Each structure stands twice: as structure tokens, then as C-alpha cells.
Amino acid sequence: MSKNPVKRSGREALRNKFQPVGDDDRNPGWFQGKGDSPQGKFPRIIFVMMFGLLMLFAVQRYFASGDSSEITYNEYKSVLSRSLVTEITVKTFEDKSAILSGKLGAPIQLQLANGATLQSNRFSVRIPSFPLEQADLLADKGIRIKVEEGTTPLSTFFVLFAPWLIFGLIYFFLMRKMNGQNGGAQAKNIFSFSKSRAKLVSEFDVKVTFKDVAGVDEAIEELQETVEFLTNPEKFQKVGGKIPKGVLLLGPPGTGKTLLAKAIAGEAKVPFFSISGADFVEMFVGVGAARVRDLFEQAKKNSPCIVFIDEIDAVGRSRGAGLGGGHDEREQTLNQLLVEMDGFTTNENVILIAATNRPDVLDTALLRPGRFDRQITIDKPDIRGREAILNIHTKNTPLDESVDINVIAKSSPGFSGADLANLVNEAALLASRNNQERLTAENFEQARDKILMGTERKSMFISDEQKKLTAYHEAGHVLVSMFTKGSDPIHKVTIIPRGRSLGLTAYLPLEDRYTHNREYLLAMITYALGGRVAEELTFNEVSTGAANDIEKATDIARRMVRQWGMSDKLGPINYGDSHKEVFLGKDYSHIREYSEETALQIDIEVRTIIMECMENARTILTEKSDALQKLAIALIEKESLNAMEIKEIIIT
């Protein structure tokens, strides 16, 4: 039976459970308290201050004691008058005083300044000043003179201890930097490279709960059950259930994988370790594997617990194959992770939760049951999910009566949770820019257009000829789309430069599409070529403005023939995908599994589809030439038209 740390009473007992990682008794160090508490820092500061004061006192005592052979000024004059001095060194100070250190020809009995006598051939004497006349007098007696600049005790102290001070400052800033990177949890010395960078998060530190997550009900249910495995294991063990080793969250960017992890940390009644996959491998060899070991050691000490690794593809990519060979350090880290998850020493009460938006590059050994027993796909939300997400993001936002959340959800198919959060934020920024107190439906409309089509570049100068060409090009897209069966409805058309394009036609599907039939794909190719056909019919020439349209149309046609089996002549046969990532563990050499004759037939079929769609677009625009003229002229005048205005122009 697994021990359950939640049985302690009181919130304070649970708070004491969450202590920073690495604050164990293995390496207490000198003058260190626990963590970053003031009790831990106080003795260290006192020690440093006492050491510095003692050193300063010792230096001052040394200089204050003076030379052991210092004589009086009278004795100096006596020695000088007897011509016993052969050499004198003069040390001058900033206050114009000087110390004369002399050498005698032979040792004599000297009367010292302290009253004692000494047999010596060296002496020193302090004088208030050393005028130039005295130097001339010494020189006339044949005495060699050396002049040195004297130093004060304080300057000597800095000369002696400046290197140590510099080293101490460097050490201090390195420690501060490591404390900043590691959250202050375990950066106790600059050599702790092998320590895990994981942060131990408590429910008191995270304000996000499962109530703040919407649109992924199934994933929430799975994760709640996973947490319950740790908090109430008896419920599952009595029917023979075992705790899953790992849970992998899969999905496109912005769908809420990391947000779900935050919700787990906010609601879990067990310790929660959080780390990024990029925090394992660094410039030093062996650091990655050591950090994996340290992470799981800390997890075992705090078991039962949860370990969350964000962006696990940074350390869990396929090993060995691919262009450029393998990466020994990353592979060593991955091997250690595999062993910790399901090796000889298993961790029964540690669950690993990981998130990635690149499951295709992960190593197969990492994905097998026994390591990641559950793989939860978190996809983009449907209309009900988008509505629930919008309700969460607009909970504290003042909305005008014109705003209908259901309408916004319907008009934003394909938006992820992050896109919807950005939509609400852009609408709020637009409202504040206009000094509005509430968000209106128009704010959301403008925000959606900005996200879909890019920011308007009204300051960009475009000649009348270029504007006319763009207007006919976009009008061609609009007309072909409106009169082609199966195409998406028009949302808006503009010839104002947005993003990287000079003009844009935006489509807004009425519903979420999960599969595409042949009619819809042919319609996409047809209205993509409508702009080029409109240029050709109007100006009897074509421009480079249709380059992106041709690229999209060709890609769809090639996929129809090679992958989706939509060619009548070639049939439902897959002819391979030539877009594999050779740098991510895929095969470097792509072997074509069909003959030259079949390859020629594929090219013919692709060309046939493109040309047939182009002829359909030509037929539509030839029949609707008057509507093409009206729509292009209206675009030149107004620059932007919505769906309602387009219909009015075509009908009249």
C-alpha cells in the first residue's frame, strides 16, 4: 500500500511538505541555513564582516608598529656627521613626510627611538619633510640616494586584498545568476551543474485550476483520474488497478497543454515538480543524465508525487538516424530517462506527465506502454469548446449588449485556445485605444480581421496601376468562390496591404471541417486560380501576384493524386510522401517505390486537375465579366468590402 502524505491535518502541514528541491542534509556547507531564509544568510554575513575587520586590524597594527631599527632624528644627524652612511632610500608620502632607510658601512651601536640600543648596519628614521637641500647635502657626501613613493596602510590593504575582493565579487554575481535561473531552490555553489533544475510547485503557488480550463473535457477527466491514483490509491488497488507510469499530452501549439499542467499543480494534493525539456542538456558532458537522476531522486523522496516535463521533444527525439547522425549527450540523457521511467528500479508512486507538439519526432521506446501508458490528444476546440473558452476569457471583461459569444465562437473556426485569448485581448486593446468603456461586436470583428489577415499598412504607397491590378485580382477570387459549388463563403476582401500581401480575400467556413471531400478540394484550387485568370482576361497578361495561389493549388492537386487517391486513372494508391524530416530521425535517402512511367502519369494527372480548375474559373469570370468590373471598381473606391456589400454589388 502506498503511503499517503495527505493524511496530515491542516494547511500548514501540507505547506511544510513543499520544501525547495536540493535542501537536504547531504551537503549543508559552511555557514549556510536552509534555503534562502534570513536565518541562513545572517551567520555567513557576520563571518565575512569579522574576517575583513580582523585583516584590516592586522595590517594597521603592522604599519603602526614601525621598523624595529628606527632611530631618533638626533641619532640620524650624528651618524650622518660621522660619514658612516653609504646609501639612503627615501620614501615620501602625500603629507610631505618621509621615512629614510639607511645602510651603514659597518655595524655600530645605534640608539633606537624606543630608548633601546641595537648593534646593526641598517636604520630608519621619520622626518617631517625631505627638502631638496638635504638631498644635495647627502649627494655631496657621496651617499647613494633612492627615492620611493610611500604607501598608506589602507592602500597597502587594497593592494594585498584587491584580487580576493574581485574574486569574491565574481563569485557573488555567479551565485546570484544561478539563484535567478534556478529560482533560488538549490544554487548553493557554482559547481552544482548536475543538480536538477526542476521547481517544486505547491497548490498555494498556482492559482489555475481545472475550472479555468475549457474545451478539453476528456483530457481533464483523464488527468483528474491520474491525480486521484496518487491521492486515493486504495480505490483502484482493490480492483487490481495499477498507477500509470506516464501521461503524454499531445496537440498543436496553443491548445492548453501547459495550462492543464498548471491546473494539475493547482489541484494536486501531492508534490508537483515542473521542468522544461531544454533544462537537461547543456554544454557539459554528462550533465543531462545526472540531472535526470537527481530529478527522480528528489521525486522518490517526495513520493507520491507528479513530475511534469514541458516540451519533452527537446530531450526525447529519435536516436541515431537522420542526416547529421546522432547526438551522444542528448541520447545519453534520453537513455537515463527511459531507465528511470521503466528500468530495474521502478518508481511506483511517481507519475511523469509530459507535453509536446511534435509527437512524430519522439523516440518509439519513450512512447511504449510502461513508460507513457496514456497518450492524451488535445486538439483545437470545436464550437462548444470555443464558446466555453471565450466565456472564461471574457469573465472579467465589460461587454456591450451587441456582443454575442456564440456568434464569435461560430465565426472563429480553427482557432486554438491561445488564439481565442489573443482575440479577446486584441479587442480590449482596440476598445481602450478608442476610449471605450465596453467591448463591442465591432471590436471583436476588427480583432479577428487583424489575426486572420494581418495588420493594415495604410501608410504604404501604391500606384494607381498597381492598385487596379490588385483590385481585379481579388475580385477574381471573390467571384469564382461565390459561383463554385462547395467553396467556403466570403468573409471580407481588401486591397489595403495587410501583413506581407498587397491584397487579401478572407474566407470564413460555416463549420469545423475534419475531413475534405473531392468537391471541396477542387473548389479550393479553382478559386485560388481565380485571381490569375482575372488578370489575364482584363489586362491580357499575368503578374507575380499569383505565385502563392499557384503554390497552394499545386500542393493540393499533388496531394490529391499521391496521397489521397483522388485520381481516376491512378486509383486509390499512396505514392509516398517526400517531405520527411531527415534531421529528425527519418530516412535520409528517399526511395521512390514506383516506376518512371507512373511518375510521369502523376505529373500528367496533377497538371490535368490544375488546368481543368483553371478553365472552370475562366468560364465563370467570362460569364460574370460585368460583375467583375463592378466589384473591381468598388474595391478601388472603398478599398475594403464585407460579405454583405459584395452581394449587393453583384445583385445590382
User: How far is residue 293 CA from its own chain's centroid?
Assistant: 24
> Are the C-beta atoms of residues 575 and 602 closer than 8 Å to each other?
yes
**281 with 287: CB under 8 angstroms?**
yes
User: For residues 449 and 443, what is the distance between their CA atoms, to the nearest angstrom?
Assistant: 10
Amino acid identity of 18?
Answer: F
Strand partners, 305: 350
What are the residues whose beta carbons fall under 8 Å from the beta carbon of 192, sequence distance 6 or more? 22, 178, 186
Positive/negative CA dihedral, 464, 466, 472, 478: negative
Q: Which residues pair with 456 in a beta bridge?
A: 498
Catalytic, out of 340, 474, 535, 605: 474
Residue 94 carries which side chain, given as an amino acid letter?
E
Bridge partners, 439 (sequence order): 399
Residues 496 and 641 sit within 8 Å (Cβ to Cβ): no
Which residues lie across from 148 on neighbouring strands?
91
Residue 484 to residue 337: CA distance in whole angstroms? 54
Comparing CA positions, the residue from 224, 266, 210, 202 lying closest to residue 13 is 202
- What does the block give as the cell for 584? 529528425
The residues, any chain, with a CB within 8 Å of residue 25's CB and separated by 6 or more, are: none
Distance CA 250, CA 376 (A): 6
559 in Cβ contact with 591 (< 8 Å): no
Omega cis (within 30) before 497:
no
H/E element, 158: helix 153-182
SS3 call for 511: coil
C-alpha cell at 157: 590593504
**Other beta carbons less than 10 A from residue 310's beta carbon:** 19
How far apart CA 101 and CA 123 sit, in angstroms, is: 6
Q: Amino acid identity, residue 421? A: A
- Whole-angstrom distance, CA of residue 318 vs CA of residue 583: 10
Residue 87 appears among annotated catalytic residues: no
> Are residues 238 and 357 in contact, defined by beta-carbon separation less than 8 angstroms?
no
Residue 363 to residue 134: CA distance in whole angstroms:
89
SS3 category, 187: coil
Q: Give the Cα separation of 427 and 412 in Å (integer).
A: 14
DSSP summary character for residue 488: P
Rg for the chain, CA atoms, rounded: 41
Q: Distance between CA 519 and CA 616 in Å, rounded?
A: 13
Give me the half-sphere count of Cα atoms (radius 13 Å) on the Cβ side of residue 645: 16
Dist. CA 73–CA 79, nearest whole Å:
10
**Strand, coil or helix: what is 641?**
strand
User: What DSSP character marks residue 209?
Assistant: -
Write out the catalytic residue numbers: 474
